[in-house]
Amino acid sequence: MSAGTSLNPVRAGAVVLCIALAVLLPWFAPNQFYIHLGTVACLNLMLVLGLAVIARAGQLSMGHAGFALVGGYVSALLTMNAGWPPLLGIVVAGLVAAALAAVLGWVILRLRGVYFVLVAFSFGQIAVLLALDMSDITGGANGLVGIPPVSLFGHALLSKPDFYPFALACTLAVLLFTWLLYRSPFGDMMAATAENQRLTESSGVDTHLTQVIAFTIGSGIAGVAGALSAHYFQFISPDSFTFWESVSYLTMLVVGGRVGVLGPVIGVLVLTPLPEMLRATQGLQHIIYGGVLVLCLLFVPDGLSSLPRVLRGRRKSTAPQAAKVVETRP
């Protein structure tokens, strides 16, 4: 088990508290808007967890929203045109996004640093442009309206209180899967690849294959989240998967912290309400996102989840200085 994924009682308690609050949200929410916000937070968390898996292997995907777009359109088209059940469409959407990521990742993950970032960014832009140009299939800029809702046991999840428990269950499943993945031997291989790729290769680990698998898993999760979003809103358009969406997910990951699963949870809880709070001033949203990101990089570069450790380190560093002052007093 790697140090970054060891079971920390404080982290575990924080995650359990967040889960408990999420489960109790429908009973204490003043109105359905907060339940809607909780659903959006669940979808964002799935996307950020997928991005965290990719980052765990040492890569940064700036086209993450593109795989969510692929998943959303695949599930929407299968359920609207082919009459597939939404649950099956969501599963197939995740598989299609994962398969696309595997093929793309096998090629572009041989690139290093900024070159991979640029190619991943280009994929996200190409996905949006294709969705706009293929208007006969995707509806173009107008998108697709009337996507069938998810049905469970013959009951359509049309209302926000109905869909929220389903979204929360899917998010908790992804959260558990990610936690187990980090604690597995493959999770250690991902962490080692990110830490020192050449040294890891000298140990007999195929770092390219490790990064491809991580990219495939993370993008598949994004595809599932995109499909869930399409069925929740019963609408999808390319405008929901632009470059700025990828930047938002990356900001949530950096602000919360990339180590473990607590960081993405904190980042999503902190930044998800901002778009709704700043809906009247859309121009300020990106400025505030950027300001929060810069402050975190300056003062807590490992994210808000590392704040208790940073404060403990400062207390330990100031304690000897205080002792020296006491000793030098006459």
Q: List own/partner pairs for 293-301 with CB under 8 A and 24 or more apart.
A: 293/251, 293/254, 293/255, 296/254, 296/255, 297/254
Q: Look up residue 5 and give its two tokens.
A: 């994924």
Tell me, what DSSP letter sits at residue 263? H
Q: How far apart are CA 229 and CA 69, in angstroms?
A: 10
Q: Which residues face 156 on adjacent strands?
A: 151
What is the architecture of the domain spanning 3-325? Orthogonal Bundle (1.10)
Domain ranges of the chain: 3-325
pLDDT in tens, 74-108: 999 999 999 999 999 999 999 999 999 999 999 99
pLDDT in tens, 247-273: 889 989 998 888 788 889 999 998 888
pLDDT in tens, 108-119: 988 877 888 889
Tell me, what DSSP letter sits at residue 142? G
pLDDT in tens, 164-217: 999 999 999 999 999 999 999 999 999 999 988 889 998 889 999 999 999 999
Q: Can you give the pTM of this predicted structure? A: 0.88
pLDDT in tens, 118-163: 898 899 999 999 999 999 999 999 999 999 999 988 888 888 889 9
